[in-house]
Amino acid sequence: MEPFLENVLNRAAFGYAYLDPEFKVTDFNERFNRFTIGPGSPKDQPIMALFPETIGLEAVFNDIARRKIPAFSLENINREQPGERTVFFNISFYPTETTDAPLFCLIKEVTQTAQLTQQIKQKENEILLLESLLSAQSKDITLTILGESRPIQRIRQMVEKIAHIPTTTVLLQGESGTGKSMIAKAIHYAAGGENLPFVEINCAAIPEALLESELFGYEKGAFTNAANSKAGLLEEAHGGTLFLDEISEMSPKLQAKLLSFLETRKFRRLGSVKELEVNLRLITASNRDLYDLVEKEKFREDLLFRLDVVNIELPSLKELGDDIIRLAQNFIQHFNLEFHKSIQGLTEAACGKLKNYTWPGNVRELRNVIERAMIFAENALLDVDDLQVGRSAKANTSNTPLERFQLPPEGLAFEEIERQLLLNALELSNGNQSKAAKMLRLSRDAFRYRLEKHQLL
Amino acid sequence: MSKSLVHQKICMLGIFAVGKTSLTRRFISGIFDDTYLSTIGVKVSQKLLAPIETTPGEFVQYNFLIWDIEGFEKSSQQLHSYLTGATGALLIADLTRPETIQSVPDMLATLSKAAPDARPVLIGNKADLISADSETSQKLKKMAKKLDLPLFLTSAKTGENVEASFNKLGLLIAT
């Protein structure tokens, strides 16, 4: 090699070698030797013995030597060095002008760049992996209406039929925990709504005034705290599905407003005169008999007629027989992914226990029972003792005094309870106010304020 | 009786985080670590397989050079170079991520183009996390049937079917 070129390659930290027609090293520089495996000088050794990454490339090398291809490169080869340090390098092969050494091998260490790329790729992949796992889990749980029992088959058929009619209003009725939200999502996804909005709200969980603004949106200045305009859930759900859970808890005023929307598919944001029109599927759900509520004049009959276009009655879990086990197996798979566990299933005795229990909390309760069992289980199969149902579960979970506390039917005076708590805390802390305040998770000032209020200072 | 030692280049193909590195480590060293560390480029490891009787009294022993390749990307230019000269490949899908199955036909096409003689085996990894009759497993079985590929449901974590899938590849190459 020309001294000038050799100098350039050495200064640029390249390793190089010339290979003869049998791919044996005829000449090399010191840096080339840093990446070879095995002891001894590379001189006269075949490249395959020095770089196992080149095994299988004999045909390629022949093509390069014959100038059939201009070059060949392998990038980012990982090589573990002593001390478990991994170095990365690129190795390339080029033809030369000489017949006794027709191949030129060039090596460049790229560890720093590869490490940076690895860090970026790691983050990217972790995000993609989480998204992928979430998507797979949501599909497993919400898109698959599991079960072979007749009630489940009937629901599956209904969902498939409803899915083809995009704006049908659906009313889901069933006990608490029977999976009304899951069925609502199943309808949405079965209708091809994967990329469309699915908006869900529990009417019982939000105060009336807030529910109205959440549903219909508001304009800036519509009420005291409306600093900016906000789109409501009706607008958010445009093109997709709006799921109103516990519709029975909606106030008469809002019922009227919802009825008006259902009749015209138009509404106004709070504080606006402009009518907006949206296209969505409305799914409502209730664990109370809405016809009964109509009789008691607690729910509008005209609204019920609008909502009850298609009615799906969800069975309680105890009606599902062997499907209880199928659902349990599905939850086991779900929690295997979430908890990184490898539980294979249920013992026969455990299956019997699940099938014989009455499941007042329905699927939600089953899910909780399996989740709890999966957290503590150490064997490949969940057994009877792992499954804590009913009272045994409550006994184990109701460990805190707050969870055990029950308000008596005749009620209690809140001020009396507060006074009693202050006295108890003082007694337990031997009169030390700082300790007593800490026991009640109060600041010392807040504690003293309450002592003063109850004239205990 | 005669015995010959032959090097075989085996490529691990699959999109990111399907368990290529974990399967390789399980096969080579018998260890498993569930920490995910994305692979950049390629890492080549070696393992000697038990001798295979090709004809009565004739044995061949393979030294598998296992190419643990970074996550499969259809458009990767470098992938073609990595696959060149391969005699076998494990096409790996993740049983917990149904979308990883969709890339199997692309992987097979890329392999066929870069290494036309390479023998493929289809792998559904992370079998410890999912039952054999799950929807994803069924999908992969259908895919294997459609593409006429031998299929193994493996677990790098428990070691289930890992050795068997590499041995199958050895047999395919030998015959």
Q: Which residue of A has its CA nearest to B7?
A: A55
- pLDDT at position A408 is 67
> How distant is the alpha carbon of residue B174 from its chain centre?
16
pLDDT of residue A402: 64
The residue type at B57: G
Tens-digit pLDDT profile for residues A281-305: 999 999 999 999 999 999 999 999 9
Question: Strand A72-81 relative to strand A85-95: parallel, antiparallel, unpaired?
Answer: antiparallel
Provide the Cα torsion A74, A80, A82, A85; round to 10°.
Answer: 100
DSSP per-residue letters across A420-457:
HHHHHHHHHTTT-HHHHHHHTT--HHHHHHHHHHTT--
**How far, CA to CA in Å, does B69 sit from each of A258, A429, B76?**
57, 64, 12
Query: What was the pLDDT predicted at A316?
Result: 92
Among the ranges given (A70-74, A198-202, A339-343, B82-86), the one the predictor scored with the smallest mean pLDDT: A339-343
Average pLDDT, chain A: 87
Give the pLDDT of chain B (175 residues) as one tens digit per residue: 667 889 999 999 999 999 999 999 999 999 888 778 899 999 999 999 999 988 888 889 999 999 999 999 877 889 999 999 999 999 999 998 888 999 999 999 999 999 999 999 999 999 988 877 777 888 999 999 999 999 999 999 999 999 999 999 999 999 8
Which architecture, in CATH terms, is A3-109? Answer: 2-Layer Sandwich (3.30)
- pLDDT at residue number A61: 96
Give B52 to chain A, closest Cα distance, Å: 21
Phi, psi for A36 (deg, rounded to 5): -80, 155
Half-sphere exposure of residue A413, counting CA atoms within 13 Å on the CB side?
4
Cβ within 8 Å of B, A 46-75: 52-53, 55-60, 72-75
CATH number of B42's domain? 3.40.50.300
**Single-letter amino acid, residue A85:** R
At B165, list the tokens. 């899938």
Return the CATH class of domain A414-453: mainly alpha
- Per the model's pLDDT, the better-predicted residue between A417 and A289 turns out to be A289
pLDDT value for A144? 60
pLDDT given for residue A65 in this prediction: 94
| Distant-in-sequence, close-in-space partners of B67: CB < 8 Å, separation ≥ 6 | B9, B10, B11, B12, B42, B43, B44, B82, B86
According to the model, what pLDDT value does residue A398 have?
Answer: 47
pLDDT above 80 for A68:
yes
Q: What pLDDT is recorded for position A394?
A: 52
Question: What is d(CA B20, CA B94) in angstroms, rounded to the nearest whole number?
Answer: 10
Query: According to the model, what pLDDT value does residue A433 have?
Result: 84
pLDDT of residue A134: 66
Question: CATH 1.10.10 region(s) of chain A?
Answer: 414-453
Query: Token pair for residue A346?
Result: 């249920």
What is d(CA A426, CA A442) in angstroms, rounded to the nearest whole number? 13
CB contact under 8 A, B42 and A53: yes
CATH of domain A317-397: 1.10.8.60
User: Is the minimum CB–CB distance between A85 and chain B shorter than 8 Å?
Assistant: no
More confident of the two residues A325 and A2 = A325
Map tokens 């002593």 to a residue.
A82
Instruction: Verify whether the Cβ–Cβ distance A136 to B65 is below 8 Å.
Output: no
Residue A141, pLDDT score = 41
How far are the Cα atoms of A72, A362, B108, B114, B159 from residue A366, in angstroms, in the given order?
A: 59, 6, 42, 51, 32
Specify the DSSP element, H or E, that contains B136.
helix B135-147
Q: Identify the three-state secondary structure at position A71.
A: coil
pLDDT at site A404: 55
**For residues A14 and B1, which has the higher predicted lDDT (pLDDT)?**
A14
Residue B8 token pair = 């075989």
Q: Check CB contact of A131 with chain B, cutoff 8 Å.
A: no
Which token pair is B53?
A: 């009787």
Chain A positions touching B83 (Cβ under 8 A) are none
Record: contact A77-B46, CB cut-off 8 A: no
Give the per-residue pLDDT at A186. Answer: 86
The number of residues in chain A equals 457
Minimum mean pLDDT among A71-85, A135-149, A357-371: which range? A135-149
pLDDT tens digits for A217-257?
999 887 877 788 899 999 999 999 999 999 999 999 999 99
Cβ–Cβ < 8 Å for A306, A267:
no
Distance CA B27, CA B108 (A): 22
- Is the confidence at residue A435, as pLDDT, over 70? yes
CB-defined contacts A:B, below 8 A: 102
Residues β-bridged to residue A87: A79
**pLDDT value for A205:** 85
Instruction: Give the residue range(s) of CATH 3.30.450.20 domains in chain A.
Output: 3-109
State how far the Cα of B117 lies from the Cα of B129, in Å rounded to an integer.
34
Please write the tens of the pLDDT for every residue from A87-96. Answer: 999 999 999 9
Of B7, B41, B134, the CB nearest to A88: B41
What are the pLDDT digits (tens) for A114-145?
999 999 999 998 888 877 766 665 554 444 67
A245 and A201 Cβ atoms separated by less than 8 Å: yes
By three-state DSSP, how is residue A292 classified? helix
Integer CA distances (angstroms), A347 to A320, A325, A344, A354, B72, in order = 19, 11, 10, 11, 40
CA distance B75 to B57: 46
Closest CA to B68 of A56, A53, A231: A53
CATH of region A144-313: 3.40.50.300
Q: Is B131 helix (H, G, I), strand (E, B) or coil?
A: coil
pLDDT of residue A451: 85
Residues of chain B contacting residue A49, judged by C-beta atoms under 8 Å apart: none
Domain membership of residue B102 as a residue range: 2-174
Query: Do residues A451 and A440 touch, judged by C-beta distance below 8 A?
Result: no
How distant, in Å, are the alpha carbons of A117, A131, A162 from that of B70? 12, 20, 44
* Contact at CB, B71 and A139, closer than 8 angstroms: no
Strand partners, A431: none
Domain total of chain B: 1
Strand order in A310-313's β-sheet? Answer: A198-202, A241-245, A281-286, A170-173, A310-313
Q: How confident is the model at residue A414 (pLDDT cuts 50, 70, 90)?
A: confident
Residue in B with minimal Cα distance to A333: B130
List the one residue out of B75, B175, B95 whose CA is nearest residue B137.
B95
Task: Using the predicted structure, report yes or no on whether residue A46 has a pLDDT greater than 90.
Answer: yes
Q: Which residues contact A187 (CB under 8 A, 6 or more apart)?
A: A159, A162, A163, A170, A241, A281, A283
pLDDT at A140: 44
Q: Are A145 and A183 in contact (CB under 8 A)?
A: yes
